[in-house]
A and B are shown apart, each in its own frame.
Chain A
Amino acid sequence: KQEVTQIPAALSVPEGENLVLNCSFTDSAIYNLQWFRQDPGKGLTSLLLIQSSQREQTSGRLNASLDKSSGRSTLYIAASQPSDSATYLCAVRVNAGNMLTFGGGTRLMVKP
Chain B
Amino acid sequence: GAGVSQSPSNKVTEKGKDVELRCDPISGHTALYWYRQSLGQGLEFLIYFQGNSAPDKSGLPSDRFSAERTGGSVSTLTIQRTQQEDSAVYLCASSLDLRAMDTQYFGPGTRLTVL
Chain B positions near chain A (C-beta within 8 angstroms): 4, 31, 33, 35, 42-45, 48, 50, 56, 58-59, 91, 93, 98, 101-109
Contact = CB atoms under 8 A, between A and B. Distances in A.
23 contacts: A32-B101, A34-B104, A36-B106, A42-B108, A43-B107, A44-B91, A44-B93, A44-B106, A45-B106, A46-B105, A46-B106, A49-B103, A51-B101, A91-B43, A97-B58, A98-B50, A99-B48, A99-B56, A100-B35, A100-B104, A102-B44, A103-B42, A104-B42
Given A46-B103, A99-B59, A104-B42, 12 more contacts: A42-B108, A43-B4, A43-B91, A43-B108, A44-B93, A49-B103, A51-B101, A97-B56, A97-B58, A100-B33, A100-B104, A105-B42
Interface in A63-112: 89, 91, 93, 97-105
Q: Is the interface of B mostly helix, strand, loop or mixed?
A: strand
A99 B57 CA distance: 11
A98 B91 contact: no
B72 to A, nearest CB: 17
Given A32-B101, A89-B43, A98 B56 contact: yes
Interface residues of A, number: 23
B110 to A, nearest CB: 10
Contacts of A89: 43
